[in-house]
Amino acid sequence: MKGILISFEGVDGSGKSTQSRRLYHWLRRIGYDTIHLEEPGGSNLGESVKKILLYSKGEIEGLSELFLFFACRAQLVKETILPSLKKGKILIIDRFSDSTLAYQGYGRGIDKGLIVRLNKIVTKGITPDLTILLDERPKAALKRTKSRKGQKSSLSADRFENEPLSFHQRVRKGYLKIALCNKKRIKIIPVRADEDDTFQEIKKAVLPLLTKMT
């Protein structure tokens, strides 16, 4: 594969969307053919399923939730990720396979071995070249999300943001365990008070990959 895949991971509200978009704009400015994606979403099917996953009123059983995330991923891999990597693009994705292991595995308690096996099938074996794990205490991160959504009356808390703090704490612990097992791929970046400082750390982690590309 000629391209590069960089994923962003972290608990809700840790600033992945902001930082991943910043990285996207920076890479384009300095001349790299770059695409920004997010999960769930990014395809017609993904966008429809995302609404169910985030805002469905009825209860969603754990395995149903798991397969809906996998459905979104399978579609995105086939439609966009695989073709773009073959063309040599840089793909930045806001959440990927590690989210499923952290949220459905560590958060919901679904069999982690099963998730790892299914992830391999659904991604066709594609693993990110680099994963940026934005690490922050869930309490602080969720507070940021609440204040951001509170400013826009059109945005309400989704199914995951409505989970108790203990759920988000399990997710964070899960992420840190996943990072320990994948030291080469996953770079833990603590979220700083100043967004610019966090971004400088992200740039430092990404630069070695760029020199490999040229």
Segment interacting with ligand TYD (CB under 6 A) among 12-20, 83-91, 173-181, 190-198: 12-20
**Site membership for ligand TYD, residue 80 (CB under 6 A):** no
**Site membership for ligand TYD, residue 43 (CB under 6 A):** no
**Site membership for ligand TYD, residue 39 (CB under 6 A):** yes
**Site membership for ligand TYD, residue 168 (CB under 6 A):** no
**Site membership for ligand TYD, residue 103 (CB under 6 A):** yes
Q: Of 1 and 155, which CB lies nearer to ligand TYD in the complex structure?
A: 155
**Site membership for ligand TYD, residue 136 (CB under 6 A):** no
Segment interacting with ligand TYD (CB under 6 A) among 11-19, 80-88, 116-124, 149-157: 11-19
- How far is the C-alpha of 140 from the C-alpha of 143, rounded, in Å? 5
**Site membership for ligand TYD, residue 95 (CB under 6 A):** yes
* Residue linked to tokens 């990285």: 23
Among 3, 24, 34, 69, which residue sits at the site for ligand TYD (rule: CB under 6 A)? 69
- Tell me how far, at minimum, the Cβ of 95 lies from ligand TYD, in Å: 4
Segment interacting with ligand TYD (CB under 6 A) among 24-32, 84-92, 98-106, 187-195: 98-106
- How far is the C-alpha of 117 from the C-alpha of 43, rounded, in Å? 23
Q: Of 75 and 100, which CB lies nearer to ligand TYD in the complex structure?
A: 100
Q: How far apart are the first and last CA of the chain?
A: 14
Which residues 6+ apart lie within 8 Å of 150 measured at CB? none
Interacting residues with ligand TYD (CB under 6 A): 12, 16-17, 39-40, 54, 69, 95, 99-100, 103-104, 158, 160
